[in-house]
Structure 1
Amino acid sequence: MNRLRRPFQIIRADLRAYLLINALVYGAFLLGLVLALIFPDLHAARTSSFVDGDQGALVDTVIGNPWTFGATIFLVNVFATALLLIVLPSLVIPFAGLIVFVIKTIDIGIILAPVDRTSALIYIPHSLTILIEFQAYALVMFGAYLLGRSWLRPATVDATTRRQAYARGLSRLGWLWLPALALFVIGAVYEAVEIYFLVPLVLGT
């Protein structure tokens, strides 16, 4: 039970910061959508780059099997994005992962912008995927923020040295990974269901 309660205790202890991190994550995504709608050429260029790049090739490889697709989504979200872009930079430079992920999130918003009727219809089921997966990212971002704050201000975690404060901040980040991982699993399963069942239903295909 302690494992279930501890992440929520950490969130309640710094609820304002947690809400601000959420505003930052979802706000960056919405900014990307707005930029794509204002600058259609930017959306076209980023979409073309995605489709023609390694990520597009990966999607083409796994799209044929729902289980493989869902597992790939989970692995990309956890390792290639949350760990590589948010956690690892933050382990070296305080708050660095927050900056990196905000830039990444704006780019995601640009690529996923509903610029036509088809993409707008896809947003009906896909909005839940965005909500779930970005909430998982927000939890990891919040943990990276707590790590950076602890590192720079040891008194916030009742530490006497920066090394001690770093360890306590890292512990909080680890606890927040528990609900984040649960959401990454739920998001990957739902996204597979969305792609193979809900999107064809919405589009009437």
Structure 2
Amino acid sequence: MSRLRGPFQLIRADLRAYLLVNVFVYGVLLLGMAVGTLFPSLHAARVASFAGGGQGALVNAVVGNGWVFGAVIFLVNVFPTALLLITLPSLVVPFAGLAVFAIKTIDLGITLAPVDATSRLTLIPHSLTLLIEFQAYALVMFGAYLLGRSWLRPATVEAPTRRQGYVRGLASLGRLWLPALALFFLGAVYEAVEIYFLVPLVLGA
């Protein structure tokens, strides 16, 4: 229980920053979707690029097995995205992960833009996947924010030096990774259910 209380204590201690991170995370996604809706040709180009790239090939390779599909979704969300795009850049340059994630998310939003009836219907069950997974990203990004702030302003965590501020910020980031991992797992399970059951139901397949 103490491991669960830690992340919530961090959120309560700086609720305003946590809410602003959420606005940023979901807002960037909606911005990308708006751009894709306004420029359908850009959306089509991004979808074609995804389908013809490595990620599209990976999805096609595992989509026949629900358990493998869910596992791949979990691993992709955790390692290439949350770890490589958000956490690692923030360990080197304060807040860098937030900027990298924003660029990636705008691109994702363009790909997911509801440009036709099929994509709009698919987005109905997929919206819960986005809500869960992006809340996990928000927790990691909140941790990256706390790390950057503690690093640049160690007095905010009552640290005498920037080095000690960095260490304490890193500990906060680590605590927030725990609920993020739980949400990534939940999101992967739901996305597998969505793909195999809910989307065919919504589309009348």
TM-score w.r.t. structure 1 length? 0.99
Q: Which residue of 2 aligns with 1:13?
A: 13
CA distance in 2, matches of 1:85, 1:67: 25
Matches within 5 A, 1:100-139: 100-139=100-139
Say whether 1:2 aligns with 2:7: no
Matches within 5 A, 1:1-205: 1-205=1-205
Paired AA for residue 10 in structure 2: I
Residue 93 (structure 1) shift: 0.3
1:177 match: secondary structure = helix
Residue 4 (structure 1) shift: 1.1
CA distance in 2, matches of 1:113, 1:40: 8
CA distance in 2, matches of 1:37, 1:20: 25
Paired AA for residue 107 in structure 2: D
1:11 match: secondary structure = helix
2:134 match: secondary structure = helix
CA distance in 2, matches of 1:45, 1:104: 16
User: Segments of 4+ in structure 1 off by > 4 A?
Assistant: none
Identity %: 77
Paired AA for residue 101 in structure 1: F
TM-score w.r.t. structure 2 length? 0.99
Residue 168 (structure 1) shift: 0.2
Residues 140-171 of structure 1: per-residue CA shift (max 9 Å, x gap): 00000000000000000000011110000000
Residues 26-79 of structure 1: per-residue CA shift (max 9 Å, x gap): 000000011011111111111111110001001011100000000000000000
Residues 75-133 of structure 1: per-residue CA shift (max 9 Å, x gap): 00000100000000000000000000011111110001111101111111100000000
Residue 175 (structure 1) shift: 0.4
